[in-house]
Amino acid sequence: MSDEIGKKKLGRGLSALLGDNVAADYSELDKIRTSKDVPVEQMHPSPFQPRQDWDQEALQSLADSIAEKGVLQPILVRRDPKDNGLFEIIAGERRWRAAQMAQLHKVPVIIKDLSDVDSLEIAIIENIQREDLSAIEEAEGYRRLADEFNYTQDILAKQLGKSRSHVTNIMRLLSLPVSVQKMIRSGDLSAGAARAVITADNPEKLAKKIVEEGLSVRKAEKLAQKKPSNRARSASVPTKDQDTLALEGDLSAAIGLKVSINHHAERGGQIIISYEHLDQLDDICRRLSRHVTGESVEDEAYEGDMSSALDEDFH
């Protein structure tokens, strides 16, 4: 990671990154800068956006509003680094999608010269501050900021106005099996109930039971605390202390995979990282290797490994 990136301050939002004295929701940008109309086919989503899921019903509602009133809030774009004739959407992809549904051929935009690093930071910060993100998307945003800008959970919590426990608990969801994460994305499993199954012997089985029976968070927690009676197992596996469990949770949150610590007072111990498929193994190897070699975010920006889709309510 370069010195420039390492010194970047998180949480500045658009008002600082754009160099304008604007409100946090950047709704005054069009009053400060003149917008111009750009054909929708000359625009495309940013590769840096964490948004993955789109509510089609909400998009249609926005499209109906745009068809009647037009796009009231200009879309923030930058020129495509690889094709100067195209524009990359930094903020406002939802409006762009809805405008196409409303059969608009052009939309108002504000063009800003932004680096890949600034575009990435804006996309993540603006998304994780939205209320309609799924807990998994929020967690992925936190992990992305931690990976790309080398921020600890304490710094993330402080700069984003979240509690340290909130950041930790949300990021721990990434240690759950992919199938359980899909339940959270779809809204079938709440984040509270999901946190209860993280330490379960079979998180997927327990999550399915919670969803199928419509259990409350409290009932889910009680169910997760029930361990199968096995005296032999109890005798051979010592109970972990709270410090060890807390450390397991922190490590799981940091790397997004389940981590188990087996500590033996007199003979050291083991840290076990569990993965479900090769993609997860490749991801953890890549991120660990990058920390060792000091690879910068610019070096990785063109690998095509970025999530997509910034969702904005303003139009």
Active site residues: 93
CA 95, 96, 102, 108 torsion-angle sign: positive
Give the span between the Cα atoms of 233 and 97, in whole angstroms: 55
Contact 288, 275 (CB under 8 A): no
Beta bridge partners of 140: none
Give the span between the Cα atoms of 79 and 301, in whole angstroms: 16
Strand boundaries in 14-101, DSSP class E: 36-39, 43-45, 75-80, 83-91
Beta bridge partners of 78: 88
List the end-to-end C-alpha distance of the chain, in Å, as a whole number. 36
* Closest by Cα among 17, 76, 90, 93 to 48: 90
* Closest by Cα among 52, 53, 44, 118 to 75: 44
Give the span between the Cα atoms of 1 and 296, in whole angstroms: 4
Give the span between the Cα atoms of 131 and 138, in whole angstroms: 10
- What three-state secondary structure class fits 89? strand
* Closest by Cα among 96, 82, 5 to 43: 96
The kind and range of the H/E element at 274 are strand 268-274
Contact 144, 108 (CB under 8 A): no
